Each structure stands twice: as C-alpha cells, then as structure tokens.
Amino acid sequence: MGGRDHPRCRRADIEALGAAVGCLPKDIAKFTSAVNHSRGSQKKAKLVADLVRGKDCLAATNMLEFSTKRAAVAFKKCIQAAVADAEQLGADSSELFVSEVSVDRGMHIKRFRPKDRGRAHPILKRTCNITVSVQERS
C-alpha cells in the first residue's frame, strides 16, 4: 500500500483492506492532510495545534475561523481537506474529530539585511509543516 511513488493509501486500497477484514472502510481509515512550507515558525503554529487537538471537526473549524493567529488559516485548510477525503469515502462528517496534529520544522527562507559599512546580516524566515489527521468517533 505504500512506497516511494504512492506514499499514502488510495481509496481502492482501503476498500480492499476493509473487504478482507470484513468491516466498512471508514472504520479502519484515518484521513490525513498536510500543508508544507507554511509561513510562520513552528513554535507559533504549535499554539494553534494545541487549540484544535481532540476537538470535533466542526467546532475546530469554527474556532479557527475566529482565531487571530496567522497559522489558523493553514490549519483550517488542512482540516477541511481531511474532512473532504473522509466524506469521499462515506464517513459521517458530524462524527469526525481531529485525532492527531503535528507541526514540524520546515525549510528556512534565507534573506540578508543590509547594515552599516557595507555589511549584511542574515535573516532566517522560518516555515513549518502542518499535518492533521481526522478519524470517525466510534
């Protein structure tokens, strides 16, 4: 089901596995979505991650809608993408909750600020990789 070319399970793979085990595909699936190279530091994004972890998907998107944090936009997109994947497989969207949230360090965008006497000081603009997993409550 995995490999270098296909790192994530496809819908057909989950359905085949569910048929082999004898259960519905939505019962064994965890729907994951990721946003890579999101502008903003990992430390600031973790504040938003702690806000939505374990919450109902509808409640989490409502919280993010009114959040003043910049990372909330990326988290909202990520949750909506995972919910859309779950609905495609036939999961009940009212039963979905945010099961896992991880924020990892992304690449740095390197810039230089001109200083006096012809010098330049480096500036690191940090990015982060956001991963959100959604599961159906059983």
Identify the DSSP state of 56. B
The whole-number pLDDT of residue 4 equals 52
Asked if residue 134 lies in contact with residue 99, where contact means CB atoms within 8 angstroms, the answer is yes
What are φ and ψ of residue 13, in 5° steps? Answer: -65, -45
- Name the architecture of domain 31-136: Alpha-Beta Complex (3.90)
The pTM score is 0.80
Residue 68 contacts by C-beta under 8 Å, 6 or more apart in sequence? none
- Supply the pLDDT for residue 7: 53
Q: Listing from the earlier edge strand, what are the strands of the sheet with 96-114? A: 31-39, 120-136, 96-114
Query: What's the confidence (pLDDT) of residue 30?
Result: 84
Walking along the chain (138 residues) 10 residues at a time, the average pLDDT comes out as 54 79 76 93 96 96 96 96 88 91 96 96 96 89
pLDDT score of 8 = 61
Taking the C-alpha atoms of residue 73 and residue 94, their distance in angstroms, rounded to an integer, is 21
Predicted pLDDT at 21: 84
